[in-house]
Amino acid sequence: MRFIPQGVNPENLARTQLEGLRWTVRHACENSVFYRRLLEKNNIGPDDIRSLDDLQHLPLTDKQDLQAGYPFPLRSAPFEDLVRIHASSGTTGKRKVLCYTQKDIDIWADMFARCYELAGLTPDDRVQIAVGYGLWTAGAGFQAGCERFGALAVPVGPANADMHCELMVDMESTVFCSTASMALLMAEEIDRRKLRSRIKIRKIIMGAERCSEAMRQRIGQLMGVEHIHDIYGMTELYGPGTGIDCRCHSGIHYWADRFIFEIIDPRTLKPAAPGTLGELVVTTLCKEGSPLIRYRTHDLTRILEGDCDCGVGFPRHDRIMGRTDDMFIYRAVNIYPSQIDHVLSTIEGVGSEYQIHLAHGADGRDMMTVKVERADNVSGDEDERLAQAVSAEIRRKILVRCRVQVMDSGSLPRTERKSRRVFDSRNHGN
Ligand code: ZN
């Protein structure tokens, strides 16, 4: 391995993390008005960080802190040291703008090169990049990582299928990097144009979007690709490239010598029990331009315990299961729509669309009704059996009872944007 450090273990990682944490708190406190005020308000300073356990005494930060500090929130380096900004799209409120020093850019490229290495690329690979360039971090990250790694970048961006197909054939690209929907679109185009024998793609790297197992299988089959890797990252934390799954595909290895991942219970904001699902909170260890201290990502995942068969010592987190904002409480159980989604994806004969309806039942208890569609090729005679299978599986996996209503295929509304899944008519606050 040229990029992934060898001999990494929990002991030496903890040492690196403590050193980095102390550096970050001091750096932020000395160079950013926002962090200095925040730490003062919480009565904690650089000298109070003596062990990694002190991390949980530091205050949490959130996206409002970035928006409030627009245009240069969290900036902790003088402008003369900054070499670039990136920003996330501002669908609600102001864009989140993050500053980078040259060292930040180098570390990011290095983390990304590790990702390509873990995905099994070699310098002979030709990497066709189909994600956006510009303010967004995606294109810049995939490209810089590719060059750092030493493979050949084919920087196409999110162009049309014609251009992607043409370049994929002519450049003999071996790796395709895109969102899951773009990968599906390309897989279907390649199939439709009968190009499969003329392309040389052997790996796909997908980022930024949750992808069902069925979708993943279809992409792999249509493109004739065995390994599809999930890359993780967010603009606030450099960009994509903070972790990727290895050839074992059993969780995402992340670069714990560059940042600390904590999992908290999004309701109590206390650390979640080891191995349980919760909100990912991140603290950077060497980021100069815009360091993060206990930044709430609102992404849901869990830290996976035990060693991976690949032998790489870096820890792993699970795939991203959704967003904390989507959580609802039913009969004292925290439930995320993605958990229902996951259960449905394991039951043959059920379509991909669903709705969750919450109401007070006749007996005063909360009642959950899950509306699902039967799949295209399934007859209405199967409804009773399907409903029972769904409710039994929800009871087994999520530990709650619910009603299931099976509907005609295509009868639930579709939108281009994210569909509304949860309809809650209960009175809140009692
Ligand atoms: Zn592994």
**Cα-to-centroid distance, 316 and ligand 1 (Å):** 8
**Cα-to-centroid distance, 16 and ligand 1 (Å):** 21
The predicted pLDDT at position 429 comes to 44
**Cα-to-centroid distance, 258 and ligand 1 (Å):** 18
| Whole-structure pTM value | 0.86
- Contact of 211 with 242, CB cutoff 8 Å: no
- Contact of 114 with 4, CB cutoff 8 Å: yes
**Cα-to-centroid distance, 151 and ligand 1 (Å):** 22
Residue spans in the chain of domains classed CATH 3.40.50.12780: 1-323
366-391, pLDDT tens digit by residue? 999 999 999 888 899 999 999 999 99
Signed CA dihedral, 340, 346, 347, 348: sign only: positive
Q: Determine whether domain 1-323 maps to CATH 3.40.50.12780.
A: yes
Q: Does the structure show a pLDDT above 60 at 430?
A: no
Q: Does the structure show a pLDDT above 80 at 91?
A: no
Q: 103-112, 292-301, 321-330: which range is least confident on average?
A: 321-330
DSSP state string for 80-94:
GGEEEEEEE--SSSS
Its CATH architecture, for the domain 327-424, is 2-Layer Sandwich (3.30)
Signed CA dihedral, 231, 233, 235, 239: sign only: negative
Q: 46-50, 284-288, 407-411: which range is least confident on average?
A: 407-411
- Percentage of the chain modeled with pLDDT above 70: 96
**Cα-to-centroid distance, 301 and ligand 1 (Å):** 17
**Cα-to-centroid distance, 314 and ligand 1 (Å):** 8
Q: 87-96, 98-107, 212-221: which range is least confident on average?
A: 87-96
**Cα-to-centroid distance, 4 and ligand 1 (Å):** 12
**Cα-to-centroid distance, 114 and ligand 1 (Å):** 13
**Which residue is listed with tokens 């003596």?**
50
**Which residue is listed with tokens 């039913």?**
330
> What pLDDT band is residue 94 in, cutting at 50, 70 and 90?
confident
Query: Measured between alpha carbons, how far apart are the two ends of the chain, in Å?
Result: 57
State phi, psi for 402 to the nearest 5 degrees: -150, 165
- Contact of 313 with 7, CB cutoff 8 Å: yes
Left, alpha or beta for 280 (phi > 0: left; psi -120 to 50: alpha)? beta
Task: Write down the mean pLDDT value for the chain.
Answer: 92
- Contact of 128 with 121, CB cutoff 8 Å: no
Q: How far is CA 49 from the centre of its chain?
A: 29
In angstroms, the CA 82 to CA 92 distance is 27
**Cα-to-centroid distance, 241 and ligand 1 (Å):** 15
The larger pLDDT score, comparing residue 427 to residue 287, is at: 287
**Cα-to-centroid distance, 92 and ligand 1 (Å):** 36
Q: Does the structure show a pLDDT above 50 at 124?
A: yes
Q: How many C-alpha atoms does 40 have within 13 Å on its Cβ side?
A: 8
The predicted pLDDT at position 90 comes to 63
- Mean predicted confidence (pLDDT) in 113-142: 96
Residue spans in the chain of domains classed CATH 3.30.300.30: 327-424
**Cα-to-centroid distance, 112 and ligand 1 (Å):** 16
**Cα-to-centroid distance, 245 and ligand 1 (Å):** 7
- Mean predicted confidence (pLDDT) in 4-11: 96
**Cα-to-centroid distance, 123 and ligand 1 (Å):** 21
State phi, psi for 263 to the nearest 5 degrees: -115, 125
Q: 281-285, 289-293, 313-317, 422-426: which range is least confident on average?
A: 422-426
138-169, pLDDT tens digit by residue? 999 999 999 999 999 999 998 889 999 999 99
- Percentage of the chain modeled with pLDDT above 90: 75
**Cα-to-centroid distance, 273 and ligand 1 (Å):** 23
**Cα-to-centroid distance, 74 and ligand 1 (Å):** 34
**Cα-to-centroid distance, 344 and ligand 1 (Å):** 28
**Cα-to-centroid distance, 337 and ligand 1 (Å):** 28
**Cα-to-centroid distance, 310 and ligand 1 (Å):** 4
Cis, peptide link before residue 240, omega less than 30° from 0: no
Q: Does the structure show a pLDDT above 60 at 257?
A: yes
Q: What is the amino acid identity at position 395?
A: R
Q: 406-410, 415-419, 423-427: which range is least confident on average?
A: 415-419
Q: Does the structure show a pLDDT above 60 at 428?
A: no
